Amino acid sequence: MAQYDYDLFVIGAGSGGVRASRIAASHGAKVAVAEEHRIGGTCVIRGCVPKKLLVYGSHFAEELQDASHYGWSVEGMKFDWSVLRDAVLRDVTRIETAYTATLDNNKVDHFLERATITGPHGVKLASGREITAKYILIATGAWPVMPEFDGVEHCITSNEVFHLEKFPERVVIQGAGYIAMEFAGIFNALGAHVTVINRSETLLRGYDQALRDRLLQITMARGIEYKFNCPLTKVEKTADGGLLATPGKLEPLKADVVLIATGRKPKTDGLGLESAGIELGPRGEIPVDDYSKTACDSIYAVGDVTDRIQLTPIAIREGHAFADSVFGGNKRNTVYDCVPSAVFSQPPLAAVGLTEGEARNKYGNIKVYSADFRPMKNVFASRQERGLYKMVVDANSEKILGIHMIGPESPEILQAAAIAVRAGLTKADFDATVALHPSMAEELVLMR
């Protein structure tokens, strides 16, 4: 039998790679992982975790404004970007340390350097060391897409936004997906003038139309400007150190920061996959089967690098299923139906299952129930913003096909509702559940 240095070598120590490493090691495998940046990957280091902390920080602007309606006198309010930024970066380091400890506690060797594939069972580290492994797992994630136009080098991506030296007063954001809308809400709440530029008229493609329309209405009322059908064509540096961003054929916009948030592509450049006979897909993704195996029997891939569903919990499940299948004697895969998702915009939205349009196309005969309400807190604080919950139901079976929500705390509420949709419950099951009053969540069982 062939002898290898490791049973498993993982390239990429993000959420999927770390989970796969830990579970494989728990099954008795000898495991190593290589990471060219920092252990923790996109989510922990430069993605959902630090971004959510910025969202929390930005919420205080609204809370402090509303405080007087609840009897509080708040004087001398002042925001210091450096305090929030540094606190976020410290917490990133704390979590990175915890991830590293997880690898150490499970006796997983880790190399803080780039690794590339040299063949079906070989990898080469940036230092020149060559290592063999019975199995190789690629979990390198995805990377921001940068468009091509004059002056794009003056722009930043979500990778750099957490390290801004000072808070920008004017922010131009290209893109209207979840990353763009989340940072638009953060900067707007903290006091910046935000302009969102998009190549089409659609924001948050894939979410229910009613929620997208409501978010557009509310964010415009909050002061975010939109320019549709006009992607950036040029960004110039000005004499005072600022930027001029030109959207389409419109007049240039003054900006301190231009953030490109036009999506993320699988990070596969220069991995050496051709040495193992693996060809990339049209978006640069690694094609895999239902069990995350590539065209090479000894090489697997999980997470965003496969471009299935780019969500951290999906990468974790794929990594876990891979380790159980290959090393645990329990062959299983990841199920992708009824995956809940959220956008931490302001207000946030969350969804699970089919949108109204998708349900009509698939089932034809459907029913749509909704609750359009003003959150209790907003009433007291004199805010006119309204929440909207939708439930899409198969008219024949009454089975719930999808739930879509926009309003305060929607992601927190949806998680429990997603279990019900995944379990195949019906509208009658929701109707039979006693409402938890007074709460926004009770609207889920009161929809008509």
Please confirm, yes or no, whether 437 is among the known catalytic residues: yes
Cα–Cα dist 378/219, whole Å: 15
E strands present in 5-85: 6-11, 31-34
Q: Please give the structure tokens belonging to residue 17.
A: 């790679």
**Cα 47 to Cα 271: distance, rounded to the nearest angstrom:** 22
Q: Where are the domains of the chain?
A: 6-144+265-327, 152-262, 347-445
* Strand-pair category, 170-174 with 257-260: parallel
Across 90-222, where does the E strand assignment appear? 109-111, 115-119, 122-125, 130-138, 142-144, 170-174, 193-197
Task: Please give the Cα distance from 158 to 153 (Å, whole number).
Answer: 14
> CA-CA distance, 258 to 243, in Å (whole number)?
8
Q: Is the pTM of this model over 0.85?
A: yes
Q: What are phi and psi of 116, to 5 degrees?
A: -130, 160
DSSP letter at 385? Answer: -
Tokens representing 115 are: 């690794």
Q: What pLDDT does residue 1 have?
A: 45
| Fold entry, domain 152-262 | FAD/NAD(P)-binding domain (3.50.50)
What is the gyration radius of the CA atoms in the chain, in angstroms?
24
Tell me if 6-144+265-327 shares its fold with 152-262. yes
The 3-state DSSP class for residue 189 equals helix
Q: How far apart are CA 155 and CA 178, in angstroms?
A: 19
Which mean pLDDT values do the consecutive 10-residue runs of the chain (448 residues) have?
88 96 96 95 92 96 90 90 97 95 95 97 97 97 95 96 97 97 98 97 94 97 96 95 94 97 95 96 95 97 95 96 97 93 97 96 96 90 91 97 97 95 96 94 94
DSSP summary character for residue 381: T
Question: Domain 6-144+265-327 has what CATH class?
Answer: alpha beta
Write the class of the CATH domain 347-445. alpha beta
Cα–Cα distance between 292 and 282 in angstroms, integer? 18
Question: Cα–Cα distance between 292 and 407 in angstroms, integer?
Answer: 36
Integer angstrom CA distances of residue 418 from 53, 213, 358, 415, 448: 24, 23, 17, 5, 19
Tokens 């430069």 belong to 46
3-class DSSP state of 266: strand
Separation CA 302–CA 64 (nearest Å): 43
Residue 171 and residue 233: Cα distance in Å, rounded?
A: 16
Q: Name beta bridge partners: 246.
A: 234
Identify any residues that bridge with 387 across adjacent strands, giving them in sequence order. Answer: 373
Residue-level pLDDT at 107: 96
**Rounded distance, CA 322 to CA 333, Å?**
7
And the tokens for 149? 């136009």
Rounded Cα distance between 178 and 344, Å, is 8
**How would you classify the pairing of strands 142-144 and 264-266?**
antiparallel
Sequence-ordered alpha helix ranges (H) in 195-311: 209-221
CB-count exposure of residue 75 (10 Å: 0-12, 13-18, 19+)? exposed
DSSP 271: S
Q: How wide is the angle at C-alpha 412 spanned by C-alphas 197 and 72, nearest 5°?
A: 85
Among the listed residues 27, 59, 163, 437, the single catalytic one is: 437
